[in-house]
Structure 1
Amino acid sequence: MSDMMQGKNKILLFRKLSDQNKEAAKLAFQTEHTFSYSRSLDRIVTKDGTIVKVGELESEVSIEAIQSKTDPVRDMLRQAVLDGEKLELWEVTVDEDLKQGDKYPAVYAQGYLDSWEDAAGAEDESTVSGNFIVELEPQFGMATLTKEQEEAVQYAFRDTTAVTEPEEPEETPVGA
């Protein structure tokens, strides 16, 4: 069963669309998320049989995450729902078997949070949950993670040996 997709390898990253030229997407430490796709199908009964009228694709992402005391992603997402600000979302599958070069399979979407909840149970960590409504259709491709994002995920296997930087080639003096 080692070839099964692991849910823990699918991470979510967010960014305000207005910040796309300023900063990298930010990792949300979600405990669970669901990326759903739906399409309405209307049945039209005719004398010859049923015809199906296909509606537009609708997509959304439901999110559940834990909160740290200083979580800039939580604050950004809460403010985005309060302000009705457009966000970018990536669902990246951080699986070394699926990695191509330095890129991972990903789904990219733009849209809005239509809900946000801060839950504070007496015996559990504080959590947040929200619902991201995708505008238009999600796009599928490959995404690059920054070094900081990869280190935060910590799913990739590392060898037991010390990590060393590759040696720089020695420069040959001019005229030698």
Structure 2
Amino acid sequence: MRLRKLQGLQLFAEAVQGKKIVYLFRIKSKAASNDAKAIAFTTENGRTKSKDADSTMTKDGPIRTPGTTETEITVSSILAKGDELIDELEDAMDNDEMMEVWEANLAEPSSGSNKFKGMYFQGYLTSFEKTSSAEDYVELSLTFGLNGSGKRGDVTVTAEQQETAEYVFADTQKTGA
């Protein structure tokens, strides 16, 4: 991590833009035949960890006992016409199929081609909402309830998948279409 000295008083790390954190999804039963995919037109992602704690009153004051950590990943996106991944995810929810989810930080490349610092999770799609108003695009809101707390490691993100985070350079020559 590169640090800069600012005015000789404080050190600040470079900030990571939200579009540099991408999520990839796959139905676990399809791991042998399918690569993970990004959801098209994602507008926002989030990862939340929370835990409840019980309080026990003692003569010396309350003591807290932490509960189990619960982790969720949320996705908001605009529905892409013909998006088969969304149909697969909804069917997987209906059939209680285990999902795999990768979080990759494209601002932090690691060793190897198309490898980035990230995390791996397994869990289930627990909420699926499709909202269609008269004047806007169809919006999707998905929530994944995850097992455990995830594992850190290097995530492979192809050049095509990286396009979800930013445009890649295109030359002025015709592409042959």
So what's the TM-score if we normalise by structure 2? Answer: 0.81
For 1:68 and 1:158, locate their aligned partners in 2 and report how far apart those are by CA, in whole Å: 23
1:139 and 2:139 equivalent? no
Tell me which amino acid in the other structure corresponds to 1:110. Q
> Structure 1, unaligned stretches of length 5 or more?
163-176
Deviation at 1:156, TM superposition (A): 7.5
Aligned equivalents of 1:16, 1:10: Cα separation in 2? 21
Residues 1:87 and 2:99 are matched in the alignment: yes
How many equivalent pairs are there? 158
CA-CA distance at 1:54 after TM superposition: 1.1
Correspondence list, 1:20-59, <5 A: 20-29=31-40, 30-59=42-71
Amino acid of the structure 2 residue aligned with 1:111 = G
Amino acid at match of 2:73: V
Contact 2:75 2:141 in 1 (8 A): yes
Evaluate the alpha carbon distance shift between residue 123 and residue 3 of structure 1 in structure 2; reply closer, same or farther with a 3 A threshold. same
Distance in 2, Cα, partners of 1:154 & 1:135: 27
- Alignment map for 1:27-176 (pairs within 5 Å): 27-29=38-40, 30-95=42-107, 98-101=108-111, 102=113, 103-150=115-162, 152-153=163-164, 155=166
CA offsets, 1:63-96, max 9 Å, x none? 111111111221111111121111001111111x
- Distance in 1, matches of 2:90 and 2:132, equals 15
Quote the residue 2:28 is aligned against: 17
Paired residues of 1:94 and 1:155 also in contact (CA < 8 A): no
Which segments of 5 or more consecutive residues in structure 2 lack a partner in the other structure?
A: 1-11
Q: Aligned partners of 1:61, 1:154: CA distance in 2, in Å?
A: 18
CA distance in 2, matches of 1:159, 1:116: 35
Supply the distance in 2 between the matched residues of 1:112 and 1:154 (Cα, whole angstroms): 24
Return the offset for 1:13: 0.7
Deviation at 1:49, TM superposition (A): 2.3
Query: Which consecutive aligned stretches of 4+ in structure 1 deviate over 3 angstroms post-superposition?
Result: 156-160
Q: Which amino acid aligns with 2:124?
A: Y
Give the Å deviation of 1:155: 2.8
